[in-house]
Amino acid sequence: MSSLVRKTTGKLTSGLVLKSSYWNCSRFRSIHAPASAPQKGAATGLYGFDHLKSPQGFRRFVDEAIERSGELVTFISSMPSSAEVIQAMDEISNSVCSVFDSAELCRQTHPDREFVEEANNAAMRMNEYFHFLNTNHTLYSAVKKAEHETHLLTREAHMAAHYLRVDFERAGIHLSADKLDRVNQLNIEISQLCQEFKENIVIDPGYVDIFPPLRMPNNLYHLAKPIYRSNELLGSRSSKEENGFRLMTDSDSLSSILQFTSDDEVRKMAYVKGNSSPRANLGVLDKLIATRHSLAQILGYRSFAEFAVTPNLASSPAVVMSFLQELSKVVRSRADEEFNQIREFKLKKCMNKFEDLEPWDEAYYTSMMKSTAYNLDSSAIASYFPLSQCIEGLKTLVKSLFGASFYNIPLAPGESWHPDVLKLSLQHPEEGELGFLYLDLYSRKGKYPGCAHFAIKGGRKVSETEYQLPVVALVCNFSSSNDRSNVRLNHSEVETLFHEFGHALHSLLSRTEYQHFSGTRVVLDLAETPSNLFEYYASDYRVLKTFAKHYSTGEIIPEKLVKSMQGAKMMFAATELQRQILYALIDQTLFGEKLTSERGTASVVADLKRQYTSWKHVDGTHWQSQFCHLLTYGAGYYTYLYAKCFAATIWEKLCKEDPLSRETGNALRTKFLEHGGSKEPVDLLTDLVGDGIIRYREGGVIPDITSLCKEMGLTKNL
């Protein structure tokens, strides 16, 4: 190994390619951690980086990453061997992405605004540097030469050379200087627009004022802020103060309002307000679509959708649309049946007085129908899922499948960003430490509002005897009770935890030669497969009985209750699948062609909803103005449906018979998880379960939908 290719403390991301560049940093979401665990008791910086002992440390962090990368660029220009070129390129990525990804995690989770501001500045500086790397002809020429020298490289090194070359070309290496400057400018604008979109959601979540307070159910009082208004008495100069409540209509609050509020007018007000905020994002989204379209055209693509989909299994928007339309046709009749069932149920509840079914009725009546059919009580279900026991359940699952164990380990002084953060070490009795996992699971003000996996550091081979261990973080927003030991999850939250844990295992169990391929750094329409697969484990009684125990009595969750939960989940499964198909169709359409001023995003959403569902579109609403997947998964939302189909096939063919067996776990690990993105995705899938998981169509690959349709009882529609 060349002296210029040294161990770094960097880490890499996973999942989505960076929106502002195509230097292969982040194909999913990620952060980073140190090359080795900090010494017990020894002070360190954020995520184990010595530089990050203070917010200003981000500045030196950037400086050193750029300095080290410059050394490696100089080394590559000296025409070393092809193997050394790929290794040096991987270290450049490892170094620069450690900065960008740690900054990304910090921006999303750190409570200290000074840290957040410095992380923002670091990310902007790195974006500028990515442009230099992405347009460096010395690096490009070296990578092209290495790709042609197949006989001098390992299989994985040749694959890395190929994808690096493709990424350079997708970044516009072939363009003139002025066009490259325009690409850089557009990428910066895209990054800024995405940030503005997210900030607007936080600033303007919308709200409704409810008078009198009796119109709101007691179980929503914790979401409400007491307010007062003055009502002047008729014919009098005096006035009377009236009590009321203000309810925010952010996505989580809106979901609760629509599910639990019996007052039709309150639900309607909340639905309309919640789906028409923030209005400012309509303009931001228009600019984002136009800017991405301009970027794609400069790079030689007809649309941003074509640019985004080309590297994936699907290979073209036409293949994606054909898959979505096929799935839509299969599910339509069942979804229509469910729609009519909900409408009939509402009619009976309204004493046969004709009231049409409205969009704000769905959550309220479907919840009531599930409770009626299966006698379910959400609080009773949650009593079996204390968060601490769910974490123990994940540990048991890993032990059963892979023979590995998670151990709680202390955080070094300065390593954590919040007192709630836990750190786990994954260890195997024969292989030793496999990686590290941070858990940041409770909601708090200013924190990233959803749930996400951040691949802090990608694994990579450092030498014949040393491996850079992966480090990941799971960020969730579960109820922030003052008594952390008393936090209990509803079953949907349990599924979310298992989903994100699937991503974490993909990263932790990965053993690739290059961090370029570590863990979730796979083609986008494969990345969600492990996470979707692990959702099955969250609903299987054989798994749940190992950890789901009543918080006070210790009683194991009854199998009858689990069957009722499964039955309730399937009651409106076609409606939910149809909704996901609609989201994917909207995403493809918005980025599939340049929208004219006469046909804005609201028109697209309304037309597609009417075409592909039986539900009304409410004029004036613009749900798309808060759909953040349009930022991170632009023209890629369909990948969730790809993953849903792949996971259904893997579950049926490999896991369903004995989901906890070591044989099942060994197959998942050795044939899929440990390879990350270092094998072609088609080979990964077929090696794991054999034929019958993919289909070829129009030059691309789509999932076989048989297992999913069988699971949902839709086989007659195939």
* Rounded distance between C-alpha atoms, residue 624 and residue 626, angstroms: 5
DSSP structure class, residue 658: -
Task: Give the C-alpha separation, 651 to 502, whole Å.
Answer: 14
Q: List the structure tokens of 508.
A: 């932790």
Contact status, residue 678 vs residue 514, Cβ threshold 8 Å: yes
Residue 156 is a catalytic residue: no
Among 84, 104, 147, 500, the active-site one is 500
Token couple for 87: 């290794």
Check if the beta carbon of residue 48 is closer than 8 Å to that of residue 412. Answer: yes
575's tokens: 């409606």
Rounded distance, CA 253 to CA 472, Å? 29
DSSP letter assigned to residue 556: B
Q: Rounded to an integer, what distance in angstroms lies between the CA atom of residue 582 and that of residue 599?
A: 18
Task: For residue 274, give the amino acid letter.
Answer: G
- Compute the distance between CA of residue 387 and CA of residue 439 in angstroms, rounded to an integer: 12
Looking at 613-705, list the stretches that DSSP marks H as alpha helix, in order from N- to C-terminal side. Answer: 629-632, 639-650, 662-671, 681-689
Helices 177-203 & 113-134, crossing angle to 10 degrees? 160
Q: Rounded to an integer, what distance in angstroms lies between the CA atom of residue 668 and that of residue 534?
A: 11
Cα–Cα distance measured from residue 312 to residue 718, given in angstroms and rounded to the nearest whole number: 25
Contact 494, 473 (CB under 8 A): no
Gap between the Cα atoms of 673 and 518, Å rounded: 10
Distances in Å between the Cα of 135 and the Cα atoms of 85, 128, 183, 703 are 17, 11, 10, 35
How many CA atoms lie within 13 Å of 620's alpha carbon, on the beta-carbon side?
A: 6
- β-bridge mates for residue 700, sequence order: 697
Classify burial at 144, counting beta carbons within 10 Å of its beta carbon; exposed 0-12, middle 13-18, buried 19 or more.
middle
Report phi then psi at 680, rounded to 5: -60, 135
Give the containing element (helix H, strand E) for 50: none
Q: Token pair for residue 269?
A: 């007000």
DSSP helix/strand/coil, 240: strand
The long-range contacts involving 132-138, CB below 8 angstroms and separated by at least 24 positions, are: 133/21, 133/23, 133/69, 133/92, 133/96, 134/21, 134/22, 134/23, 134/167, 134/168, 134/171, 134/172, 134/173, 135/171, 135/172, 135/173, 135/180, 135/184, 136/73, 137/173, 138/73, 138/76, 138/77
CA distance 588 to 590: 6
Residues 6+ apart with CB under 8 A from 514: 86, 87, 90, 156, 157, 160, 460, 461, 678
Tokens of 541: 């009684």
The SS3 assignment for 197 reads helix
In 43-81, which residue ranges form alpha helices assigned H by DSSP? Answer: 57-77
Pair 456, 30: CB distance under 8 Å: yes
Active site residues: 500
